Structure 1
Amino acid sequence: MPTPSAHLHLPLLRNGPAPLPFPVPAPAARSRSSELAGLPARRDRVWDLSPNLHCSVVGTCLTTAELRQLFAKLNDPDARTASDHTLHGRAVRAAGQKDVAGKLLNKLLDKRHEGPVKRFAKARTTAEVRALWREALERGDIPGAYWAVLTHPATDQGLVQEVFGEVHMLSHLVGMSNRADIARLRHLEQELGGRDEKIARQEARLQQMAAEREALARRVEELEHARHNAAARPLQVGDGEDPAPVLKRRLTDEQARSAVLAERLAAQEQVIARQDDKMLRLKEDVAALGSELASLEAALAGPDEDASETAEGAPDLQGRRLLYVGGRPKQVEQLRALARRFGGELLSHDGGIEDNVALLPGLLSQSDIAFFPVDCVSHHAAGQVKRLCRETDKPFLPLRSASLASFVAAIGRLDGALATP
């Protein structure tokens, strides 16, 4: 049986882990032979399977969207509004009935997993079926292979118990991984929402300051105009009064007022310049978060039919080796699983906390590129990575943060980084 870490990234249950019963269910009522002699003329139908298998078949092999379409065809009045759990329960009940609903459900399963069913149809013995199951398990092609194994004429009781137990345990592993990814996505969405609100407040403040600056500019213009008019008007002085001191006093007052307004205007312009810089940085952060979130969503979407193919929009490492220095120790296995999923291999070093820094040159010599999250690595370790990469003429990519999203986004830019020494 594959190690659990080899399957943390597999799109096993597209609706989340289905609840699986214990003890391990008995096989179908008819006996299954591991040899060609005595094989039934056809595969099992869903209602031929043990009722204890129906829950795992529905939860593993079909999506909630497919169940909604099925019950819509059956004119179920709340097929579009019923909860996922309700639809699952109805499908499990329908699986045990040889009626219209059961036949449509069986037809949907055969059509949905036509490829794996045809591939397993070439097997003539229990050993051959088990070998095909092992291959599918290694590729992560669980839903189709599970349906093909359970309904194959050569599948015996031992093989049913074996595949059921493996699917049950994988569902736990995938459920834990999905919950962690969903929590991280929600955190990113909340962080983006907070950034958007902050930018909106900054933009409102900038608009207010711009209005104040325009008002000040108009006031300065009015004062200049008033001074010009005052200079043009004949000076009203009393009989025998010297006009020079009066003009000088008025000029001094206007100059003092202009100086005060100029200082206020300069201060406001400095504040606006700082706010402009701050808003630009916030927009850059939001753009980076949005790009990382999009990369993570594309990576988590997974393939629909064949798990050996990379999902559209997901990167392809093409067998490259990556070195990850620093980061959070609890995330290393998840990063390693993502690298395997994208067709590569991840080597790691904690930056000198427990791992010896002297190991870095050897690890880098085995790698094509080095990564380190700038928010979760020591200055010494980051400097060592940069120096070693320059000495060995290998590229390195600083990551914005130690999150999975930053790692996935950086992998998406890997071709450009490897093209630039």
Structure 2
Amino acid sequence: MTSAEREFDIVVYGATGFVGKLTAEYLARSGGDVRVALAGRSPDKLLKVRETLGESAQNWPILTADAASPSSLADMAARTRVVITTVGPYSRYGLPLVAACAAAGTDYADLTGEAMFVRQSIDDYHKQAVDTGARIVHACGFDSIPSDMSVYALYRRAQSDGTGELGDTDFVLRGFSGGVSGGTVASMIEVFRASSNDPNTRRMLEDPYTLTQDRSAEPELGPQPDLPWRRGREIAPELAGVWTTGFAMAMYNTRIVRRSNALLEYAYGRRLRYAEYMSVGSSVAAPVVSAVASAANNGVVALGSRFFRLLPRRLVERIAPKPGTGPSEQARDRGYYRAETYTTTTTGARYCATIAQQGDPGYKATSVMLGECGLALALDRDKLSDLRGVLTPAAAMGDALLDRFPAAGISLQTVRLDD
């Protein structure tokens, strides 16, 4: 059965989870005539979710699928063009679904922030997905759409202007309000657990090209620290007076951006140096906050990667937010993020990309981003790249997402700074 002949455009796998339900709500509200099915382990719970989605979703089919049953995943994948999944931690539950989609030639989108899960997905299923025509797209939420698409937008702007390739490129989270989802925390726990038990895994995570397709092809650009702290004016004159610290998700996001560059045959440039920061403001206390936050970030990473195995699993899981839980609708609506990404091209041209979105980044905003990725994969196939295999959002659907963002409430604008 070809993709065009399949029964569904999108299956939402994990629709009974917190972000899964939000994603289903978004598709019911914004998906138009897209053919959607809801999937998960419990048909009864899925039916209850469907009842809350409004009239447009009341005929959506219910599919029973479970990571512990590969045959159920294979059946689900064979019936749809796209599977979007919120079932994590992905290193624990995700690979069987990647395997099913790669085998069926079915496109796939997830919310993972787990670098080693993506690495295993590449190692085990990239070639098969290329052969079957599947697009396996990781990192389709707050990790790492703002990062990945901001750099892609800068590349497209510089390409249009004829101003050369990207050089030093720095993402700065300027404003943020919202919580970290239970699923994100669970994913971080899995990363720490894997690195604490295996020195080789820890070394791979420390490599700036963890997710590269061909490590020997990557440029050697010297140290590219994950959690640096800098004065804003060292990043761009426009940030004079601002202090920054390393952004907590930089260890993952930077590797997604670098993989995008490699997948696109280094279209961004072979001298691309990419880092991520978070603004801590311009007050008298900002330099101290910057230094302390940087030390704390690096300390957490060091302790997590080396000594996590000393902490009882039950204690960690009891303290951490539970996957499937989240804030109230009012709190989700109040959330937002805004980030600026600065670059200097090989001809000296300077640009800034600003991305902003209303809604709690870990919940409401993420569900919109994931929903739009699913819609782009299902409906905008003439705008997608020709690449197949284990991909990133920018490499798989960069132009399609740029076109979709305005109607979805995602603002992404590029400006030239040296005109």
TM-based fold match above 0.5: no
- TM-score, normalised via structure 1 length: 0.25
Structure (1 or 2) with the greater strand fraction: 2
Structure number with greater CO (CA < 8 Å, separation at least 6) is 2
Computing the radius of gyration from Cα coordinates, the structure with the larger value is 1
Between Structure 1 and Structure 2, the one with more helix by share is 1
Taking structure 2 as the reference length, the TM-score comes to: 0.25
